[in-house]
Amino acid sequence: MTKIRPIRSYVLRQGRLTKYQSIALKDLSANLMIPFERSLINFNDFFETNDKKIILEIGFGMGDTTAEIAETLVDVNFLGVEVHSPGVGNLLNRINEKNIKNLRIIQHDAVEVLDFMIPNNSLDGIHIFFPDPWHKKKHNKRRLIQTSFIEKIQHKLKNEGYIHIATDWEDYALWILDSFKSLENFTLKSTDFFEKPSYRPNTKYENRGIRLGHRVWDILFIRQ
Protein backbone atom coordinates (compact mmCIF):
# COMPACT_ATOMS: atom_id res chain seq x y z
CA MET A 1 0.00 0.00 0.00
CA THR A 2 1.40 3.39 -1.02
CA LYS A 3 1.75 5.82 1.86
CA ILE A 4 0.25 9.23 1.13
CA ARG A 5 2.77 11.94 1.93
CA PRO A 6 1.35 15.05 3.61
CA ILE A 7 1.59 18.39 1.84
CA ARG A 8 4.19 20.47 3.68
CA SER A 9 3.88 24.23 4.08
CA TYR A 10 7.66 24.57 4.11
CA VAL A 11 10.69 23.34 2.22
CA LEU A 12 13.47 22.07 4.44
CA ARG A 13 16.36 24.30 3.34
CA GLN A 14 18.76 23.86 6.21
CA GLY A 15 21.40 26.16 4.77
CA ARG A 16 24.89 26.33 6.16
CA LEU A 17 25.30 26.39 9.92
CA THR A 18 27.81 28.88 11.23
CA LYS A 19 30.26 27.64 13.82
CA TYR A 20 28.46 29.78 16.40
CA GLN A 21 25.09 28.20 15.58
CA SER A 22 26.53 24.69 15.51
CA ILE A 23 28.09 25.12 18.95
CA ALA A 24 24.78 26.45 20.30
CA LEU A 25 22.88 23.41 19.02
CA LYS A 26 25.45 21.12 20.66
CA ASP A 27 25.89 22.93 23.98
CA LEU A 28 22.60 24.74 24.70
CA SER A 29 19.92 22.38 23.43
CA ALA A 30 19.66 20.30 26.60
CA ASN A 31 18.61 23.27 28.74
CA LEU A 32 16.77 25.48 26.26
CA MET A 33 15.01 23.05 23.91
CA ILE A 34 12.08 20.69 24.39
CA PRO A 35 12.44 17.42 22.47
CA PHE A 36 9.57 16.40 20.22
CA GLU A 37 7.52 13.57 21.70
CA ARG A 38 4.18 12.03 20.89
CA SER A 39 2.82 12.96 24.30
CA LEU A 40 1.24 16.10 25.74
CA ILE A 41 3.61 18.66 27.15
CA ASN A 42 3.44 19.93 30.72
CA PHE A 43 4.55 23.55 30.44
CA ASN A 44 5.36 23.63 34.16
CA ASP A 45 8.28 21.29 33.51
CA PHE A 46 10.09 23.74 31.23
CA PHE A 47 9.54 27.29 32.49
CA GLU A 48 10.94 28.74 35.71
CA THR A 49 7.78 30.78 36.30
CA ASN A 50 4.80 28.73 35.24
CA ASP A 51 1.78 30.83 36.20
CA LYS A 52 2.25 33.03 33.11
CA LYS A 53 0.33 33.08 29.86
CA ILE A 54 1.63 30.73 27.15
CA ILE A 55 2.20 31.96 23.58
CA LEU A 56 3.16 29.57 20.78
CA GLU A 57 5.11 30.97 17.81
CA ILE A 58 5.05 28.90 14.65
CA GLY A 59 8.00 29.30 12.28
CA PHE A 60 10.22 31.88 13.99
CA GLY A 61 12.87 32.01 11.24
CA MET A 62 16.14 33.31 12.66
CA GLY A 63 14.42 34.09 15.97
CA ASP A 64 15.54 37.69 16.47
CA THR A 65 11.95 38.99 16.62
CA THR A 66 10.96 36.13 18.91
CA ALA A 67 13.74 36.97 21.36
CA GLU A 68 12.87 40.67 21.32
CA ILE A 69 9.19 40.01 22.03
CA ALA A 70 10.07 37.63 24.87
CA GLU A 71 12.37 40.28 26.38
CA THR A 72 9.57 42.86 26.13
CA LEU A 73 6.71 40.71 27.43
CA VAL A 74 8.45 39.28 30.48
CA ASP A 75 5.15 38.22 32.07
CA VAL A 76 4.47 35.75 29.25
CA ASN A 77 6.08 32.38 28.50
CA PHE A 78 6.91 31.71 24.84
CA LEU A 79 7.33 28.44 22.99
CA GLY A 80 8.93 28.79 19.54
CA VAL A 81 8.63 26.05 16.91
CA GLU A 82 10.96 25.97 13.90
CA VAL A 83 12.39 23.26 11.63
CA HIS A 84 15.47 25.03 10.27
CA SER A 85 18.70 24.48 12.22
CA PRO A 86 20.41 27.86 11.50
CA GLY A 87 17.44 29.73 12.98
CA VAL A 88 17.27 27.43 15.97
CA GLY A 89 21.00 27.82 16.60
CA ASN A 90 20.74 31.59 16.27
CA LEU A 91 17.85 31.83 18.74
CA LEU A 92 19.59 29.53 21.21
CA ASN A 93 22.50 31.97 21.25
CA ARG A 94 20.17 34.94 21.73
CA ILE A 95 18.42 33.24 24.66
CA ASN A 96 21.76 32.39 26.25
CA GLU A 97 23.38 35.79 25.71
CA LYS A 98 20.34 37.75 26.94
CA ASN A 99 19.55 35.28 29.73
CA ILE A 100 15.95 35.01 28.54
CA LYS A 101 14.05 32.86 31.02
CA ASN A 102 10.61 32.84 29.36
CA LEU A 103 11.42 31.31 25.97
CA ARG A 104 11.94 27.68 24.93
CA ILE A 105 12.25 25.95 21.52
CA ILE A 106 10.95 22.83 19.80
CA GLN A 107 12.70 21.96 16.54
CA HIS A 108 10.06 20.04 14.64
CA ASP A 109 7.15 20.34 12.22
CA ALA A 110 4.59 22.63 13.89
CA VAL A 111 1.60 20.58 12.70
CA GLU A 112 2.89 17.49 14.48
CA VAL A 113 3.77 19.54 17.57
CA LEU A 114 0.16 20.75 17.67
CA ASP A 115 -1.21 17.26 17.06
CA PHE A 116 0.81 15.45 19.69
CA MET A 117 2.26 17.89 22.24
CA ILE A 118 -0.02 20.88 22.81
CA PRO A 119 -2.97 20.23 25.16
CA ASN A 120 -6.39 21.57 24.22
CA ASN A 121 -7.36 24.90 25.81
CA SER A 122 -3.78 25.54 26.93
CA LEU A 123 -2.58 28.48 24.81
CA ASP A 124 -3.27 32.16 25.36
CA GLY A 125 -2.05 33.10 21.90
CA ILE A 126 -0.44 31.91 18.67
CA HIS A 127 1.98 34.00 16.58
CA ILE A 128 2.58 33.25 12.91
CA PHE A 129 4.76 35.96 11.38
CA PHE A 130 5.44 36.01 7.64
CA PRO A 131 4.60 32.40 6.74
CA ASP A 132 5.69 31.35 3.26
CA PRO A 133 3.09 32.92 0.92
CA TRP A 134 3.46 30.25 -1.78
CA HIS A 135 2.37 33.01 -4.12
CA LYS A 136 2.04 30.93 -7.29
CA LYS A 137 -1.56 29.82 -7.62
CA LYS A 138 -0.58 26.18 -8.23
CA HIS A 139 1.25 26.23 -4.88
CA ASN A 140 -1.53 27.86 -2.82
CA LYS A 141 -2.42 24.43 -1.41
CA ARG A 142 0.91 24.51 0.46
CA ARG A 143 -0.02 27.60 2.45
CA LEU A 144 0.02 26.99 6.19
CA ILE A 145 -3.12 29.02 6.81
CA GLN A 146 -6.03 26.92 5.62
CA THR A 147 -9.45 26.37 7.19
CA SER A 148 -8.40 22.83 8.16
CA PHE A 149 -5.32 24.18 9.97
CA ILE A 150 -7.35 26.82 11.80
CA GLU A 151 -9.81 24.15 12.91
CA LYS A 152 -6.84 22.29 14.37
CA ILE A 153 -5.37 25.19 16.31
CA GLN A 154 -8.67 26.59 17.58
CA HIS A 155 -8.92 23.71 20.06
CA LYS A 156 -5.49 24.55 21.45
CA LEU A 157 -6.49 28.10 22.37
CA LYS A 158 -8.20 29.12 25.57
CA ASN A 159 -11.38 31.17 25.41
CA GLU A 160 -10.40 34.71 24.47
CA GLY A 161 -7.08 33.39 23.17
CA TYR A 162 -5.82 35.02 19.99
CA ILE A 163 -4.11 34.25 16.69
CA HIS A 164 -1.80 36.95 15.32
CA ILE A 165 -0.69 36.51 11.71
CA ALA A 166 1.51 38.96 9.79
CA THR A 167 2.10 38.86 6.04
CA ASP A 168 3.44 41.22 3.38
CA TRP A 169 1.40 39.60 0.60
CA GLU A 170 -2.03 41.21 0.12
CA ASP A 171 -3.32 38.10 -1.64
CA TYR A 172 -2.35 36.00 1.36
CA ALA A 173 -3.93 38.50 3.77
CA LEU A 174 -7.23 38.21 1.90
CA TRP A 175 -6.82 34.42 1.74
CA ILE A 176 -6.37 34.37 5.55
CA LEU A 177 -9.51 36.42 6.13
CA ASP A 178 -11.45 34.14 3.81
CA SER A 179 -10.11 31.02 5.59
CA PHE A 180 -11.55 32.22 8.91
CA LYS A 181 -14.99 33.06 7.50
CA SER A 182 -16.50 29.61 7.96
CA LEU A 183 -15.48 29.41 11.62
CA GLU A 184 -18.05 31.08 13.86
CA ASN A 185 -16.00 31.10 17.05
CA PHE A 186 -13.34 33.54 15.78
CA THR A 187 -13.82 37.29 15.75
CA LEU A 188 -11.59 39.72 13.87
CA LYS A 189 -10.18 42.01 16.55
CA SER A 190 -10.30 45.11 14.37
CA THR A 191 -11.58 46.02 10.96
CA ASP A 192 -8.21 47.77 10.53
CA PHE A 193 -6.60 44.37 10.24
CA PHE A 194 -3.37 45.81 8.87
CA GLU A 195 -2.48 47.69 12.07
CA LYS A 196 0.62 46.31 13.81
CA PRO A 197 0.45 45.72 17.58
CA SER A 198 3.17 47.52 19.51
CA TYR A 199 4.74 44.31 20.84
CA ARG A 200 5.77 43.07 17.38
CA PRO A 201 9.03 44.72 16.22
CA ASN A 202 9.82 45.08 12.53
CA THR A 203 12.06 42.38 11.09
CA LYS A 204 15.07 43.22 8.90
CA TYR A 205 13.20 41.70 5.95
CA GLU A 206 10.15 43.79 6.78
CA ASN A 207 12.12 47.04 7.05
CA ARG A 208 13.66 46.40 3.65
CA GLY A 209 10.21 45.86 2.19
CA ILE A 210 8.84 49.00 3.79
CA ARG A 211 11.67 51.02 2.26
CA LEU A 212 10.63 49.60 -1.12
CA GLY A 213 7.04 50.64 -0.50
CA HIS A 214 5.69 47.22 0.49
CA ARG A 215 2.81 47.01 2.93
CA VAL A 216 2.43 44.62 5.85
CA TRP A 217 -0.87 43.25 7.13
CA ASP A 218 -1.22 42.23 10.81
CA ILE A 219 -4.34 40.16 11.35
CA LEU A 220 -5.63 39.30 14.84
CA PHE A 221 -8.48 36.93 15.56
CA ILE A 222 -9.94 36.26 19.02
CA ARG A 223 -11.40 32.87 19.88
CA GLN A 224 -14.83 33.22 21.46
The reply to whether 124 belongs to the active site is: no
Do strands 157-167 and 123-129 pair parallel, antiparallel, or not at all (unpaired)?
Answer: parallel
Catalytic residue among 45, 51, 109, 132: 132
Main-chain dihedrals φ then ψ at residue 11, nearest 5 degrees: -110, 130
3-state secondary structure of 163: strand
Are 34 and 88 spatial neighbours (Cβ–Cβ below 8 Å)?
no
**Cα distance between residue 63 and residue 80, in whole Å:** 8
Please, what's the b/e burial string for 192-208 (b: 16 or more CB within 10 A of its CB; e: otherwise)? ebeeeeeebeebeebee
Residues paired with 103 in a beta bridge: 78
Active site residues: 132
